[in-house]
């Protein structure tokens, strides 16, 4: 089965990370059913994922609120059941003990130095806990959009720049760089740049490491990827697809920024066009509504033409808890990426597109097709 | 390509039939794009369907309003574009000329006699128009639920009963019987009994004929079959799935009948359970709201549990025009069933489940899987 | 201000009652803001309602789960904040100490005897707590529909029947009878019969007592009564109004019964017709969906014609917590009815229609007009 | 009754204007019921409005498409019934004959000169048609936001500037100026500046003229003004109110401009705060979705706290035809403003707030209260 696997979370004291840790502990203690964990379904049985009981958690963060305290806050916002933090106190304490100081965005230290420190944390975590491998998963806050630089496309130039520059890489990419240099696969769960730079792709390939991303598919886009293929298969012509996302959580503030929103909207309409085979009108709004807390509501309106051009419409409203939607995917992705690493997979893991809004390594956005590819890929991995 | 194909519609002067006829004429004249026609998409290109231009329409009905008049009414209710009836007048006139008197529910004639008359109409239509084959498609009003009788399960007993009984078979099944005896494949587009009796299945197999059904999937169930697999694939636990359908059309009145509705609700929840792997709470209502006319609105509410049991919800509203949704499926089904007949397929066509709420010959209800099966089946048919 | 007022709840250990008691205690302790309490808004300031601090709770019930235990359960279902039961423990204990055994539906004792016992409980509560008056509020489970009997319309005949019959009155009406004989005003918060019998109206008038009802307006009907007048004022013609209510709570099961539902639907469409001035198509469904617990979701679809007959639509979805919606109304109604009693009002209190789905004493169903009437009436009461 | 009244429409060849003209003709010919016309309801019976038959239409426009042609286009987009243009051909022809060249935004002529020309058109229309009075109603496209200038607040300074400047006033205000100088009341049906400048208010008062505005309330805001008072009256605390408007019509493009949208959003949230008594989170989006044509869809999501802080939500979706919603209000406003003029009312008509998103002369935004004020005002007007 491949021994114990480390799950190193960037943003380890955030809502998603703590829900992942607490949830993994609760499921392995039999306190709750493994709802939301694709890795526990018959579809992925027998593919050799690390058992939940053999996952060990650690991570980086720049905030100080300990994991236990954050778990209590998650009870207040109705993400965690009231009795859970006490019931999994040991697991939370163990994870908290493995959290190290992360990289600060405004740190003026040359990034090579910071990367070395981060990589040391990873290596030391692996050795100390006798882990077969460590998968790094970025669940920290979304970064503002980043301007391209020539070094991003050229590994030697990047290495040179890192030695002197404090900001040639956005923080998410610095973590990916550190992960790769420590021999760890990397998963981008956020829309930040992360490993999605040609220079980092080159590094991953050089070091024979797989990576996955980007941007966990937990709500509106999930439903969209289930519904858009319906219109395509039935030859119904989508005329417009408009959406509004109301988010209260930490990311709401970043994502509601017009520039960030514009880039997300463009990406969403592009994905849609890839599924439908033609451009589609419409915008996607992301509104920061603080009172919603960890909850989010999305409304989508699809206008389409049927036979003889008759206009019809479909609307949906999705109401969910962001952390509870994201956390099981984090566990699934850590286990699947560890499995890919064990099997010797290298570069972007297109087979994990099922979990992402903007999948690397594929242009397949149809949910059912992504699921079929995931299952086929997992079943075909060499032991 | 297999020469010309007859499309014989039971309920030939109804909204769905007339929209099918007018639409086929409009598409083949290049007046509108083939929106809604799966048979015209790349997915089914090259599988050898009869070209739209080689379809010839006829049918049975018990009402007298001619096809041309009905087309004008469909303009009033915004189903057909204003200019269409005039533009396809020749096609409508030709179809009207091929409509024959149907079977009346209260006719006291022994059903064998009526069946012989109906079968003669089919044979004569085929000969007169030099058709390679005729597919019979039932698009007439939905029947009230039918009580089972022993003859329904035993072909010889059924044949004996037909000689004297005026009502051993419900009308929809009498049409299926007549179709089979005339050597025609049969498609149940309604939820009526049609060919779904063991005795009729035996007859179809004896005569080496295929049949398809039941109940065209044009709205709420279509969306449901796209969304339910999302919950299953993501291991999210659906707690309840409730739906309300508001229908104004002719079938609204029949379907809103509590007994009919109860049987439909049971069937819908059963399909859901087959996809999700467990029973699901909830009811499906069908309300007859005359002012909606040919339009329908469905609202579905799905309550589900995510990770750690957190409760979330998804709602959707579908607003569509029933005839415009059904008509292209009628054309697709006629062409695909004709193709199956040519290829020598016999018995229930499970591969056409993509088009039906209650598919015969399969328990697959996941839309994307149905679409994959359809494409694979069609591609694999012998020329 | 009129001294202390007793609030005697029929169903005192149920969700609504316990939320009312716990909430009153929390508001008067300054733990939470008085959200939802109309009696605490400027609109009703200065009309002389009993201060929340001067309300004393007691009641009848036939279940044994103590108030404190029920409060804990309400924390589990997210109705009460986690810390509340401990914070208002004294208030809950005091209320629990004033709960007496209620009337059982299948008790074969002559109802006059039971009524005397219930009235004794009320009198003894008033005396023991030195209360100026006691208002009885029925918040118990909804009764099944009741068959009319001649005694219901004739007070002497009713009195005679009560001496021997164990069931001439439905239980809700027996409570109203007992309340009146003990000199207490009565509020029907449920759709049960309660005081709505000519014989009980006669009794209330004879004893110079006011009563209010029926059926607290907490969700779909509340929104409907705000929206229907919009269509009327704008001369837009409502063609159909359809609704589906999904309820998980105790009443869901009773209300989902087809007979009960039919009577509720009829009453809802009648209220609509009174506001709109014409009959309206459409049905209202009530579905029992156990997993929703104390939460409810309602979807309404309104189809209407605008200028030149153009068809348009309005839909709404209301998602709320039944007990949290009902409890503040219970407190408002108890205080307003006590105030009416002090002012010498007699018979049905039409001015309280603002709080009810089926208001007694008025045919006004427009929410804003009801609110204006409430404020004007309260402001005009003699000290 | 006050003789014949002229209705002079700025934007007379636009959708709203032509729907108003065609609709008035259809209603007075008895072809359709007066649905949507508040002036034809019992609420305003007997207040002495000009009969529909005594309205005479004319207007300014800068486009050339004649009214008759536009009416045909409105049939295509399902705003007008197919048979209507022919049935009211005389009325449309008469209106078309009374349309004069409007003011161009980039005209370099001194505005005093243009205003004189526009005023001459009004006077000549009144004389030629022997009208008692002419009400000018602006239904032209929405202007981009306008920068304030000192002359806007000072009538003599404005008059001086007009003599030389081609653009001291935005076009909508130039029309208001011209209307006033010709002795005509003015109605702002759009969100453009129109009469809302201190200098124009001074002019209206000097000339003893009434004016009304701004921005006809035809959709999302209409529903909002019916629902927001419900939360206020029930003491429920609105935490956020978010909205998305999808518009396909001409104004969609202007309103979707971020600057225009920002100003509209600010105004919408301010109105809400005036009704609710506190600031409310949330944004209002306006998206231009060309395929929707004259139809619009709005989705609003309201998050609110109930008793004990429990979070609940209300959503609504409004789907309507913009011109069919606006046109009857144009007729109502023209008749009511003419009536106010006859009664000697001067300055902003706060009593017409019922019809406007941003009413002048009042801060009342509650729909029912606005309706009551309208009825009371109309009933109290001197003959």
Give residue C201's Cα distance to chain centre: 17
User: Predicted confidence band at A159 (pLDDT cuts at 50, 70, 90)?
Assistant: very high
Instruction: State which H helix or E strand residue C6 sits in.
Output: strand C5-10
State the Cα–Cα distance between residues A333 and A346, nearest whole angstrom: 15
- Please state the rounded mean pLDDT for residues B303-321: 96
The pLDDT confidence band at residue D146, using thresholds 50, 70 and 90, is confident
pLDDT in tens, A262-283: 766 777 778 899 899 999 999 9
Instruction: State whether D78 and B78 contact (CB < 8 Å).
Output: yes
Band (C1; pLDDT cuts 50, 70, 90)? very low
Split at pLDDT 50, 70, 90, the class of A123 is very high
User: What's the half-sphere exposure (Cβ side, CA atoms, 13 Å) at B321?
Assistant: 24
Enumerate domains of chain D plus CATH numbers. Answer: 5-215+324-380 (3.40.50.720), 220-321 (3.30.360.10)
Q: How far apart are CA B345 and CA B211, in angstroms?
A: 9
Q: Are strands B133-138 and C5-10 parallel, antiparallel or unpaired?
A: unpaired
pLDDT score recorded for residue D122: 98
Question: CA of A83: which chain C residue's CA is closest?
Answer: C76
| Residue A1, pLDDT score | 47
Provide the 8-state DSSP code for D310.
-
In the sheet where C5-10 sits, what is the strand order?
C99-101, C55-61, C5-10, C133-138, C186-188, C210-212, C347-348
Residue of C nearest to A78 (CA): C78
Which chain B residues contact residue D317 at CB under 8 A?
317
CA distance B197 to chain C (A): 32
Taking a C-beta distance cutoff of 8 angstroms, is the pair A367, A226 a contact? Answer: yes
Does residue B266 register a pLDDT over 60?
yes
Rounded to a whole number of angstroms, the distance from the CA of A289 to the nearest CA of chain D is 6
D152-181 per-residue burial string, b: 16 or more CB within 10 A, e: under 16: bebbeebeebbeebebbbbbbbbbbbbbbb
Whether C254 shows a pLDDT value over 90: the answer reads no
> Which residue from B minimizes the CA distance to D83?
B76
pLDDT surpassing 50 at residue B16: yes
Rg (CA), chain B: 20
Q: Over 70: is that where the pLDDT of B173 sits?
A: yes
Pairwise CA distance, residues B138 & B8, whole Å: 8
What one-character-per-residue DSSP string does B1-56 give? ----EEEEEETTTSHHHHHHHHHHHHHHTTSS--TT-GGGSGGGTTS-PPPGGGEE
Rounded Cα gap, residues B118 and B8, in angstroms: 11
- B269 pLDDT more than 90: no
- State which H helix or E strand residue C10 sits in: strand C5-10
Mean pLDDT score, A174-194: 97
Hey, what long-range contacts does C199-202 have (CB within 8 A, 24 or more apart)? C199/C151, C199/C152, C199/C153, C199/C154, C199/C155, C199/C157, C199/C158, C200/C173, C200/C176, C201/C347, C201/C348, C202/C155
Q: Which residue in the set C26, C35, C81 is minimally distant from D237, CB to CB? A: C35
Q: Taking residues D138-163, what's their average pLDDT?
A: 95
CA-to-CA dists, residue C175 to B115, C9, C112, C115, C184, angstroms: 67, 10, 11, 7, 11
Contacts of D75 in chain B (CB under 8 A): 82
CA distances, A354 to each of A296, B151, B381 (Å): 21, 50, 32
Q: What is the mean pLDDT of residues C351-371?
A: 96
C-alpha distances in Å from residue B120, one per residue of B49, B116, B117, B178, B203: 26, 6, 5, 9, 18
**Residue A260 pLDDT:** 67
pLDDT surpasses 70 at D263: no
Q: What is the pLDDT of residues C272-310, one digit of tens each?
A: 998 999 999 999 999 999 888 889 999 999 999 999 999
Is 80 exceeded by the pLDDT of residue A259? no
pLDDT tens sequence across D32-74: 999 999 999 999 999 999 999 999 999 999 999 999 999 999 9
* Whether B47 contacts B134, CB under 8 Å: no
DSSP string computed for B139-172: -SPPPPP----GGGG-HHHHHHHHHH-SSSS-HH
DSSP H helical segments within C98-146, as ranges?
A: 111-128
Taking the CA of residue D264 and the nearest CA in chain A, the distance in Å comes to: 16
Alpha carbon distance C29, C26 (integer Å): 5
Query: Which chains share 3+ C-beta pairs under 8 angstroms with D?
Result: A, B, C
Nearest CA in chain D to B78: D78
How far, CA to CA in Å, does A259 sit from each of A144, C254, D31? 8, 53, 53
Is the separation of the CB atoms in B335 and B351 below 8 Å? no
Beta bridge partners of C153: none
Which of chain D's residues have a Cβ under 8 Å away from the Cβ of C19? 307-308
Chain pair A-C, CB pairs under 8 angstroms: 7
Q: What is the mean pLDDT of residues D140-156?
A: 93
On the question of pLDDT at B238 being above 60, the answer is yes
In this structure, are residues D155 and D203 in contact, taking their beta carbons and an 8 Å threshold?
Answer: yes
Q: Which residues contact B19 (CB under 8 A, 6 or more apart)?
A: A307, A308, B74, B79, B80, B323, B324, B326, B327
Which of chain B's residues have a Cβ under 8 Å away from the Cβ of A38? 233-235
- pLDDT tens for B317-354 read 999 999 999 999 999 999 999 999 999 999 999 999 99
Alpha-carbon span D165 to D159, nearest angstrom: 10
- pLDDT at residue C2 in the model: 54
List residues in chain B touching D: CB distance below 8 A: 75-76, 78, 82, 317
Report the mean per-residue pLDDT for chain A: 94
Of C337, C330, C298, the residue nearest C315 (C-alpha): C298
What pLDDT, on the 0 to 100 scale, is given for residue A312?
96
Any chains having at least 3 CB pairs less than 8 A from chain B are A, C, D
> Which of A35, A73, A82 should we substitute to test contact with C (largest number of C Cβ atoms within 10 Å)?
A82
* DSSP tag of A356: B
Rounded Cα–Cα distance for residues D317 and D335 (Å): 31
Which secondary structure element, helix H or strand E, spans residue C135, and what is its range? strand C133-138
Indicate yes or no: CB of A299 within 8 angstroms of CB of D303. Answer: no
Which residue numbers of B have CB closer than 8 Å to C's CBs? 239-240, 242, 244, 246, 281-283, 285, 287, 289-292, 297, 299, 301, 303, 311, 313, 315, 317, 319
**Residue whose C-alpha is closest to residue C177's, from C110, C125, C126:** C110
- Mean pLDDT, rounded, of chain D: 94
| Mean pLDDT confidence for D364-370 | 96
- The residue that leads in pLDDT, B355 or B145, is B355
Which residue did the predictor score with more confidence, D130 or D253? Answer: D130
Rounded mean pLDDT, B219-244: 96
**DSSP single-letter state for residue B356:** B
Residue A227 to residue B223, Cβ atoms within 8 A: yes
Question: Chain-centre distance of CA A322, in angstroms?
Answer: 12
Task: Tell me the pLDDT of chain C averaged across its residues.
Answer: 94
Taking CB atoms and an 8 Å cutoff, what residues of chain C touch D227?
223, 226-227
Whether the per-residue pLDDT at B196 is higher than 80: the answer is yes
- CB neighbour list of residue C49: distance below 8 Å, 6 or more residues apart: C39, C335, C336, C338, C339
Q: Long-range contacts made by residues B145-152, C-beta under 8 angstroms, separation at least 24? A: B145/B259, B145/B260, B145/B263, B146/B170, B146/B193, B151/B199, B152/B197, B152/B198, B152/B199
B383 band by pLDDT with thresholds 50, 70 and 90:
confident
pLDDT value at A250 more than 90: no
Q: What percent of chain A stands above pLDDT 70? A: 96
The pLDDT of residue A76: 86
Look at A282 and D289 and tell me if their CB atoms are within 8 Å.
Answer: yes
Phi first, then psi: give them for residue B311, nearest 5 degrees. Answer: -85, 130
Between B242, B285, B315, which is nearest C289 by CB? B242
Pairing of β D311-321 and β D284-288: unpaired
């Amino acid at each position: 089965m491949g021994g114990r696997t480390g799950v190193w979370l960037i943003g380890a004291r955030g809502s998603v990370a703590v829900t992942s840790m607490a949830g993994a502990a609760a499921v392995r203690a039999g306190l709750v059913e493994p709802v939301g964990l694709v890795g526990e379904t018959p579809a992925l049985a027998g593919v050799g994922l690390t058992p939940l009981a053999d996952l060990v958690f650690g991570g980086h963060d720049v905030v100080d609120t300990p994991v236990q305290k954050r778990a209590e806050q998650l009870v207040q916002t109705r993400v965690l059941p009231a009795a859970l933090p006490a019931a999994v106190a040991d697991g939370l304490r163990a994870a908290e003990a493995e959290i190290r100081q992360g990289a600060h965005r405004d740190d003026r230290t040359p990034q090579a130095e910071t990367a070395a420190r981060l990589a040391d944390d990873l290596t030391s975590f692996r050795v100390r806990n006798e882990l077969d491998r460590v998968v790094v998963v970025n669940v920290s806050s979304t970064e503002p959009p980043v301007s391209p630089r020539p070094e991003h496309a050229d590994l030697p130039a990047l290495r040179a720049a890192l030695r002197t520059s404090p900001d040639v890489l956005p923080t998410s990419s610095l973590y990916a760089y550190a992960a790769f240099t420590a021999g760890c696969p990397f998963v981008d769960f956020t829309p930040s740049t992360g490993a999605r730079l040609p220079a980092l792709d080159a590094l991953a390939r050089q070091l024979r490491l797989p990576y996955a991303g980007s941007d966990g598919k937990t709500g509106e886009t999930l439903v969209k990827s289930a519904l858009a293929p319906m219109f395509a298969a039935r030859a119904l012509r989508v005329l417009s697809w408009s959406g509004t996302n109301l988010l209260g959580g930490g990311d709401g503030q970043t994502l509601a920024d017009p520039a960030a929103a514009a880039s997300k909207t463009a990406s969403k309409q592009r994905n849609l066009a890839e599924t439908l085979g033609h451009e589609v009108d419409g915008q996607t709004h992301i509104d920061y509504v603080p009172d919603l807390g960890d909850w989010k509501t999305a409304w989508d309106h699809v206008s389409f033409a049927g036979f003889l051009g008759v206009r019809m419409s479909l609307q949906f409203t999705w109401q969910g808890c962001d952390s509870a939607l994201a956390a099981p995917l984090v566990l699934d992705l850590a286990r699947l990426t560890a499995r890919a690493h064990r099997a010797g997979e290298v570069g972007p893991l297109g087979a994990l597109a099922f979990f992402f809004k903007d999948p690397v390594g594929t242009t397949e956005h149809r949910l059912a097709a992504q699921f079929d590819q995931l299952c086929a890929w997992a079943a075909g991995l060499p032991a």
